[in-house]
Amino acid sequence: MLFKNKGIRIRKFHKYIERVYYTVMLMPLLLGISFYVYKQVLPIVSEMNKAENMSFISLLIPGIITTASLITSCVFISFVRHYSKSNGTFFTWVEQRQLLARMIFHSKLYVSKTVKRNNRTKEKIVYFPKVYYQRKGGYLILRFPTDLQKFQDKFTKMREDLEKAFYADCISMKYEKRFVVYTLIYDVARTRKTVTELEPKRHRLELMQDVYWDFNKVPHALISGDTGSGKTYLIESLMYFFIKIKAEIKVCDPKMSDLVFLEVIPSLNGKVYSTSGQICMCVRQFHEGMKQRQQEFMKLSYGKTGNTYLDFEMQPQVLVFDEYVALLSSLDKDTEKELLGHLRQIILLGRQLGYFVILGMQRPDAQYLPGDLRDQFGLRVAMGSMSPVGYRMMFGENDKVFKDYGKESKGWGYAKTGVGDIQTFYAPFVERGFNFVDEIAQLFDEKPATSMDGVRQAEP
């Protein structure tokens, strides 16, 4: 590729770029005021000079109009700038470029020498780094030079500083020819999708704008978070998506909370499990079903490698398991070991066969989910704020700086989608009045029962 658009190069004048734009926007208004003074005020002054009688009373009204126009113009431009920054538009981008330029100056990431002119000494910049600013949607792409200058090491260690300065999340750092490239997502909430927008794109699920979970390559989802963090909403959203693509769902809800109500949907009747006996039976049968498909798969593939369930148009099978720890804490050691053995086989072998697990738990303690098994989950989401230990359990050892967006910000967390780094995440937005039971029933083209009475429960 002969030419690659690297964005806007940060120049020395960007240090004052906001003032430049402010002045440019003010100029037409100042010209209008100047025209008014020329047409209205100067003739009055000229008449006064001719009559040699300076009457300031006659200048009072034009003076008030001129002064009010100046003040109004400045206030208007300031309001436009403030409104633009508040909504993340033009002046936000201008401020970001100014921030980069000031960082270069304040950190002295340039080379200068002192020159003498007319008996005065002056600093002359002889090297100013080629830093590029590029914006794509809600993402910032910042390029810093790897040109063997003395600042190169500093430019390759700016991840944390950039996250703090832009109040953004660095989702990747990579190298390209002569540059280190940081990609930051600075307005995560704007990239959020609604539940109904969850659609497959080339067998991938777009969780947010340009954030994909390729569940056929990095299968299984681990969702953690305290009560009220939005964990169950996210699990239901993933269920909603899988049902959209005609997957067969089995649901385990040991706490008999939100998911148990899916039993009123005819197609899910008998596929929602809540007692420990039912859930253990479900997991065992799910594992046995996977082994049966494995035998069928071997016959169909005739020894060819690289095939998956998609090549033979097999139906995806999804085991949804909320409050996993609540079940394990109620089991004896032998039953727990047996259950974990079935889950381990499903998680390790399920990708090729189209068997997927969505596991929800408050905290992924190694006591209940061994680290080697946790690492097999392609999608890992920590909803809400967690302790450093919790994040380490969820994502393993990392150098991520985790922020707390507060309880007033609903549905946020951190996610790792199998590719790239850990990033800020917003779960699909559930609109007011959206009812998962009714909406999932519509996907099946069915009408849910009006109550749980008389609904057939899963076999014990």
- What is the tens place of the pLDDT at every residue in 118-145? 778 888 888 899 999 998 877 889 999 9
Higher-confidence residue of 221 and 410: namely 221
Among residues 99, 117, 140, the one where a domain terminates is: 99
Q: Could you tell me the end-to-end alpha-carbon distance of the chain, in angstroms, rounded to an integer? A: 63
Task: Tell me, yes or no, whether 460 lies in a domain.
Answer: no
Three-class secondary structure assignment of 104-168:
HHHCCCCEEEEEEECCEEEEEEEECCCCEEEEECCEEEEEEECCCCCCHHHHCCCHHHHHHHHCC
Among residues 129, 159, 186, the one where a domain terminates is: 186
Among residues 99, 127, 159, the one where a domain terminates is: 99
Sheet holding 423-426, edge to edge: 272-273, 248-252, 317-321, 355-361, 221-224, 379-383, 412-416, 423-426
Residue 339 confidence (pLDDT): 92
pLDDT at 407 over 70: no
Give the CATH number for residue 280.
Answer: 3.40.50.300
Pair (304, 423) in one structural domain: yes
Pair (235, 371) in one structural domain: yes
Higher-confidence residue of 128 and 457: namely 128
Task: Tell me, yes or no, whether 372 lies in a domain.
Answer: yes
Pair (347, 237) in one structural domain: yes
- pLDDT over 70 percentage in the chain: 93
Question: Which pLDDT tens digit goes with each residue over 84-112?
Answer: 887 778 888 888 999 999 999 988 888 88
Pair (82, 128) in one structural domain: no
Question: Which pLDDT tens digit goes with each residue over 183-223?
Answer: 888 776 677 888 888 888 777 898 888 788 999 999 999 99
Q: Which among 258-267, 281-290, 411-420 has the top mean pLDDT?
A: 281-290
Residue 346 confidence (pLDDT): 95
Pair (85, 123) in one structural domain: no
Pair (337, 355) in one structural domain: yes
Residue 228 confidence (pLDDT): 77
Averaged pLDDT, 392-403 = 83
Pair (266, 376) in one structural domain: yes
Residue 51 confidence (pLDDT): 67
Task: Tell me, yes or no, whether 368 lies in a domain.
Answer: yes
Separation of alpha carbons 52 and 57, rounded Å: 15
pLDDT at 44 over 80: no
CA distances for 207 relative to 264, 363, 421, angstroms:
28, 22, 15
Q: Which two tokens stand for residue 9?
A: 């190069």
Averaged pLDDT, 59-84 = 84
Least Cα distance to 383 among 346, 355, 410, 358 occurs for: 410
Count: domains in the chain: 3
In the block, tokens 């959209």 appear at 244
Cα torsion 73, 75, 79, 85: sign: positive
pLDDT at 54 over 70: no
pLDDT band with cut points at 50, 70 and 90 for residue 81? confident
Pair (237, 380) in one structural domain: yes
Least Cα distance to 272 among 431, 434, 442, 436 occurs for: 436
Pair (58, 121) in one structural domain: no
Q: Are strands 412-416 and 423-426 parallel, antiparallel or unpaired?
A: antiparallel
Task: Tell me, yes or no, whether 450 lies in a domain.
Answer: no
Residue 449 confidence (pLDDT): 79
Pair (272, 157) in one structural domain: no
pLDDT at 359 over 90: yes
Pair (114, 89) in one structural domain: no
Task: Tell me, yes or no, whether 453 lies in a domain.
Answer: no
Task: Tell me, yes or no, whether 91 lies in a domain.
Answer: yes
pLDDT at 381 over 90: yes
Pair (129, 234) in one structural domain: no
Q: Which residues contact 190 (CB under 8 A, 6 or more apart)?
A: 88, 138, 209
Q: Are strands 272-273 and 169-176 parallel, antiparallel or unpaired?
A: unpaired
pLDDT at 79 over 50: yes
Residue 46 confidence (pLDDT): 77
pTM: 0.74
Mean pLDDT of the chain: 85
Task: Tell me, yes or no, whether 448 lies in a domain.
Answer: no
Task: Tell me, yes or no, whether 148 lies in a domain.
Answer: yes
Domain encompassing residue 358: 194-443
